[in-house]
Amino acid sequence: MAEGDDLFPGFEPLWIEGPAGRWFGRAGGPADAPPLLLLHGFPQCHAIWHRLAPALARTHRVIALDLKGYGWSAAPASGADGNAYAKRKVGAEIVAVMERLGHVRFALAGHDRGGRVAYRLALDAPGRVERLALLDIVPTSVQWERIEAHPGMNPHWPFLARPAPEPEREIGRDPDAYFEGLLRSWCGAGDLSPFDARALTLYRQAWNVPERIHAMCEDYRAGGADGPDRADDRADLAAGRTLPMPVLVLATRDYLDRGKPETALAAWHRTFAPTAEGVSIPCGHFLAEEAPAATLAALQAFLAP
């Protein structure tokens, strides 16, 4: 048994040759069932879905994918333009990966950074996405409005977006201390107890690799104050573009709503998803691992035909 296989009983490991190198994922459920793509967040990998995926696979063909630069997917250098990790580019690459798996249209759920790829993909290629679930994010443009209005809020955003190699060097001194500190501070328990030890092993394996530390920083640089992700949001907002498919916003009260000028759902209503429905989950940031039953129930209700 390969490492992590026991987290996804009945799922098959996938190595997909695609844009930007090889992508890793796991697939489970009937081959002829409606496809559902799951995208994880920072600083994790596909393993965040292990408590939900088997149940979701009863009704869907579930693909849990490692984002570019995370987990076991390739972590290419950014190249001369520095935009290899722009969400527009990553979203287009994921469309190509799904096509190679035989899925032209699919439902899509994304948490954290995976949610940012998900909504950008859905804005750029709305015909590809049947339904869209966004877990614990607001649009990147809104996030920067909040950070600029309240300096010191979410300090990891500006820190990780600093020019290379400053954050890479600092994190590289003790990656476990840095990333585990973030997990502790963002989860409701304030410690690592919500995380399965097998999943933590996979997270640690990835974030101790210098190329992956760099990739995660590049992800945040693409989403930085002057990065392409924010610029793409602003252009679409100016053009009045919205998400035409059904959208579900799952937000944790502690992470997004407490003390904020508006709820996560209100932020989506005034930007890209004016008709989105919302569910608030009473836990820390890591919904799929901290509150799997409530998160699963919300996703199943939303995905039901």
Catalytic residues: 112, 285
Q: How many residues does the chain have?
A: 305
Identify the CA nearest to 75 among candidates 213, 227, 229, 223.
213
Q: Which residues contact 267 (CB under 8 A, 6 or more apart)?
A: 138, 139, 142
- Measured distance between the N- and C-terminal CA atoms of the chain, rounded to whole angstroms: 35
Contact between 285 and 216 (Cβ < 8 Å):
no
Distance in angstroms (rounded) separating the CA atoms of residues 68 and 260: 31
Distance in angstroms (rounded) separating the CA atoms of residues 123 and 109: 14
CA distances from 121 to 109, 127, 144, 147, 157 (A): 11, 10, 20, 24, 21
Contact between 260 and 231 (Cβ < 8 Å):
no
